[in-house]
Structure 1
Amino acid sequence: MAASKEALNALHTAIAEKLTESIEAMPAGEKGLAAILNVARQFVKDNGIEALPSPGSPMSKLTNKLSEYPFDPQGDSIN
């Protein structure tokens, strides 16, 4: 028996809300935060959410911070 569209929508909403609550409630540096952020990242990716950084936005701040750590795909690898 397949789940109804309404049930799946409710589950989707509950997951998004719980992830948001968990991230907001967890202090930076708390053990487990990285795992929750990774689940949230995958949830956003799986739902086709993309963002372009606009000046002053959190995405822009993250982009600027990441640019301080250049990545060389030829030299940087995880083995």
Structure 2
Amino acid sequence: MSSASIDMMAALHGVVAQELLDRIKDGSATAADISNAIKFLKDNGIEARADKNAAVASLASQFPTFEDEDRALN
């Protein structure tokens, strides 16, 4: 059995990305789809920064913040 070519791997990568994106956009994504999308992004070195993305900043603002004194207790 021969190895997949670079072109084949690139095509598969694109199809996976598009399928995950389509499911998320149309609202049919399951929890597993979301988890797979997050892993796909992480595995490809994609990260979201709150200082560069308003949606990420909004999400981050929903989490509690801790004072330095609270951190010292851990």
Normalising to structure 2: TM-score of the pair?
0.74
| More displaced 10-residue stretch of structure 1: 10-19 or 43-52 | 43-52
Alignment partner for residue 61 of structure 1, among 58, 63, 68?
Answer: 58
Alignment partner for residue 37 of structure 1, among 27, 34, 37?
Answer: 34
RMSD of Structure 2 on Structure 1 (CA): 2.6
C-alpha deviation, 1:50, in angstroms: 1.4
Q: 1:16-55 deviations in whole A, cap 9, x for unaligned? A: 010000011126xxxx621111010111111111121126
Which residues of 2 match residues 1-79 of structure 1 at below 5 A? 1-26=2-27, 33-54=30-51, 57-65=54-62, 67-68=63-64
Q: How many residues align?
A: 68
What secondary structure sits across from 1:23 in the alignment? helix
In 2, the alpha carbon distance for the partners of 1:56 and 1:9 equals: 27
In 2, the alpha carbon distance for the partners of 1:33 and 1:64 equals: 25
- Which residues of structure 1 form unaligned runs of 5+? none
Q: Counterpart of 1:11 in structure 2: which amino acid? A: L
What secondary structure sits across from 1:48 in the alignment? coil
Q: Counterpart of 1:16 in structure 2: which amino acid? A: A
Structure 1 moving runs of 4+ over 6 Å: none
Normalising to structure 1: TM-score of the pair?
0.70
